[in-house]
């Protein structure tokens, strides 16, 4: 859906792979899940903040008990959060908001 909306998308199977891609070619935005193999979302967000403090991060989760993790992700620097299942329009709106010029990004 993001590609159809005109965005270039790079995929990573987990946080470790995503962080390696970040070192090679930093993206304009990171979308990460909370629960992932090898390096989960909270740890990934923390490491992204160390490498690229102002990079926008959108966190997603489908875990029914994830509200605590989503709040923790925001405290560590995620700029927005979406609970699965979410509508395509909600994802696209969150991405556009985070990529908008002048978006206030904590850093």
**The pLDDT value given to residue 43:** 93
Query: Per CATH, which fold does 15-99 belong to?
Result: Rossmann fold (3.40.50)
Q: Which two tokens stand for residue 62?
A: 């489908």
Report yes or no on whether pTM surpasses 0.85. yes
Structure-block tokens of residue 45:
């967000």
CA distance 89 to 87: 5
What are the residue boundaries of the structural domains of the chain, listed by start?
15-99
At 106, the pLDDT band (50, 70, 90 cuts) reads very low
Q: Is the pLDDT of residue 104 over 70?
A: no
Question: How far apart (Å, rounded) are the C-alpha atoms in residues 70 and 32?
Answer: 11
Q: Express each pLDDT in 56-98 by its tens digit.
A: 999 998 876 678 888 889 898 999 999 989 999 999 999 999 9
How much of the chain exceeds pLDDT 70, in percent? 93
């Amino acid at each position: 859906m993001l590609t159809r909306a005109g965005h270039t998308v790079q995929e990573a199977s987990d946080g470790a792979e995503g962080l390696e891609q970040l070192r090679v070619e930093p993206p304009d935005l990171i979308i990460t899940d909370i629960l992932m193999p090898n390096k989960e979302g909270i740890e990934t967000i923390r490491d992204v903040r160390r490498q690229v403090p102002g990079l926008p991060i959108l966190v997603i989760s489908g875990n029914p008990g994830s509200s605590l993790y989503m709040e923790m992700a925001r405290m560590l620097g995620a700029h927005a959060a979406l609970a699965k299942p979410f509508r395509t329009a909600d994802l696209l709106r969150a991405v556009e908001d985070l990529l908008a010029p002048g978006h206030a990004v904590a850093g």
